[in-house]
Structure 1
Amino acid sequence: MCRVADLRQAVLAKNDASAHELRDALTARGTAVVNLLSSPGSGKTALLEQELLRARERSIPVAALSADLATENDAIRLARSGVPVKQVLTDGLCHLEAGMLAGHLDGWLPDDVRLLFVENVGNLVCPASYDLGETLRVVLAAVTEGEDKPLKYPTAFGLAQLVVVTKTDLAEAAEFNEVAFRKNLEQVNPGVEVILTSARRGWGVGALLDRALATADGSPAHAPVMSRQSHHHGHKDSHSHGHSRSHDYTRGHSHSHTHGPAPTHPEAPEAMAHPQS
């Protein structure tokens, strides 16, 4: 067991070194990385597409890299925003690593990109332990996933610098208890900010972009109490990779979009507390 633990620590230490190097290189060129983590089906891609559209409307140079086990569906959707998009196929690997990310960015990432959104593999276990050289780590959870999600995945939520709740238009139907969710989140990550969103209704759209820009401009991000180093979790597939593939969706998917400001939603309550029966 000690040899396995030592190997896992060595793998993660190598990743941390790569992440530090990548962060320094991107910071020097004025690019900030936003690492998006969530379970499958959280609505991450739908929200990210809307954020990319807002960035384009505001002439903010952004790009997106989407990681998936097998399909290119997410990148095809994101490319509709007209910003540079690249798909990384991990061939079954459950997370991205800093060295992999650096390799996929080399020769692709435009020089003027201010924000790079990385849509990590849909998984709240493996990706939680891997620093990608990000400036801002964001964890998303849909109201349909339940209020106890932070307690079930304490490392992912405990290391988040921002938490985004998605699909809030379904909160009443899902009997989502926002008060309970915030209480559970506070247990693993005291003081972390929560943004409520609905990509379908436009509620909260643009808030993620604003937070990312503020962080890129030097505003301090939330500092989780939990230390990544003290909560590294080993994975059976966390070493000997290098088989991921990528596809560039930058060319051939640029379309003109005209969108107005985010819809106001006075009917969307600030607190969506629906106690469970």
Structure 2
Amino acid sequence: MCGTCGCVDGSGEGGGGARISVPHAHPHAHPHTHPHDHAHGSDRVRPAGAGETITLEQGETITLEQKVLGKNDGVAALNRAWLAERGIVAVNMMSSPGAGKTTLLERTVGNFAGRRPVAVVEGDQETALDAERIRRAGGAVVQINTGAGCHLDAEMVRGALTALEPGEGSLVLVENVGNLVCPALFDLGERSRAVIISVTEGTDKPLKYPYMFAAADLVVINKIDLLPYVDFDVERCEEYARSVNPELRVLTVSATTGEGMADWYDWVARP
């Protein structure tokens, strides 16, 4: 069971419950070699840290001697160093289910053909349906099934990178499990984080899930082709998002029609 959020995926002990598969391909058995010293994770998300104190309900105060997510952060640091050595850009894409991440990925893979190699890590609790969609679009893809787990972690992504072996200068897009809570807690070693929301979800998403938006670099408001048919205020949603994180960049796109996608391509491909 995950020691942070309680999901039964083994991620608290290195992602032991996850299943990694490559559609119509064979993962390579040899692991990447990484040094195992000086492992420092991202400081963006720190649920608890060494020396921080927690006051229990009964009034007892305890001091945490280890970061709750220390192990994950260590592996994330190794991932980040491995990617940086090869000039690979990795983006962690997070959203609630149905926001349109996979459609966004399909269009991105298709439009980057011949421009830059794209590899995709697909995270879902079950099935390889999304991975098959990416494969048909022409992208190299690895599927991670987390079972009851509600997020990917750094160890899972490390295994996926071993299987994918992305070339130097590649773009690696990680489609996290559909969830606006737990994925924000886990550093994967990515360069940046994008939160995708759709106009069908409601204007107030950033206020309801502030931790996710505080941890993000970019918000993509998807399905804008549906704006005439839904009650969604783009300007107010942007205002809510920046009230949580003033540094956020916000893009509006339709992954279905292609509207606004040029801005997404520019952002995702930047060094």
**Shared fold per TM-score greater than 0.5:** yes
Distance in 2 separating the partners of 1:136 and 1:191: 13
Equivalent of residue 175 in structure 1, options 231, 248, 255: 231
Amino acid at match of 2:111: R
Q: Which residue matches 1:148? A: 204
- Alpha carbons 2:151, 2:177 under 8 Å: kept: yes
Q: Which residue matches 1:91? A: 147
Q: How far did residue 107 of structure 1 move?
A: 3.9
Amino acid at match of 2:77: H
- Alpha carbons 1:51, 1:206 under 8 Å: kept: no
Amino acid at match of 1:133: G
- Alpha carbons 1:54, 1:206 under 8 Å: kept: no
The Cα offsets for residues 143-181 of structure 1, whole Å up to 9 and x where unpaired, read as 011110000010101111011000001112112111210
Q: How far did residue 6 of structure 1 move?
A: 4.7
RMSD: 2.0
Q: 1:67 to 1:146 in 2, by over 3 A?
A: same
Correspondence 1:164-243 to 2 at 5 A: 164-214=220-270, 217=271
The Cα offsets for residues 218-253 of structure 1, whole Å up to 9 and x where unpaired, read as xxxxxxxxxxxxxxxxxxxxxxxxxxxxxxxxxxxx
For residue 240 of structure 2, give the secondary structure of its aligned residue in structure 1: helix
Q: Which residue matches 2:184? A: 128
Q: Which residue matches 2:35? A: none
The Cα offsets for residues 189-218 of structure 1, whole Å up to 9 and x where unpaired, read as 11311111111211112322211221xx2x
Q: Where in structure 1 are there 5+ consecutive unaligned residues? A: 218-277
The Cα offsets for residues 41-64 of structure 1, whole Å up to 9 and x where unpaired, read as 0011111110111111x4211110
Q: Which residue matches 2:98? A: 41
- Alpha carbons 2:92, 2:194 under 8 Å: kept: yes
- Alpha carbons 2:140, 2:164 under 8 Å: kept: no
**TM-score calculated relative to the size of structure 2:** 0.74
Number of equivalenced pairs: 213
Q: 1:203 to 1:3 in 2, by over 3 A?
A: farther
Distance in 2 separating the partners of 1:15 and 1:206: 34
Q: Which residue matches 1:258? A: none
Q: Which residue matches 1:103? A: 159
The Cα offsets for residues 19-42 of structure 1, whole Å up to 9 and x where unpaired, read as 111101111011111100000000
Indicate whether 1:114 and 2:155 are aligned.
no
Q: Where in structure 2 are there 5+ consecutive unaligned residues? A: 1-55
Q: How far did residue 106 of structure 1 move?
A: 1.1
Q: 1:3 to 1:181 in 2, by over 3 A?
A: same
Amino acid at match of 1:119: E
Amino acid at match of 1:190: P
Q: Which has the higher contact order (CA 8 A, sep 6+)?
A: 1
For residue 200 of structure 2, give the secondary structure of its aligned residue in structure 1: helix
Identify the range of structure 1 (114-123 vs 196-205) with the bigger mean alpha-carbon deviation: 196-205
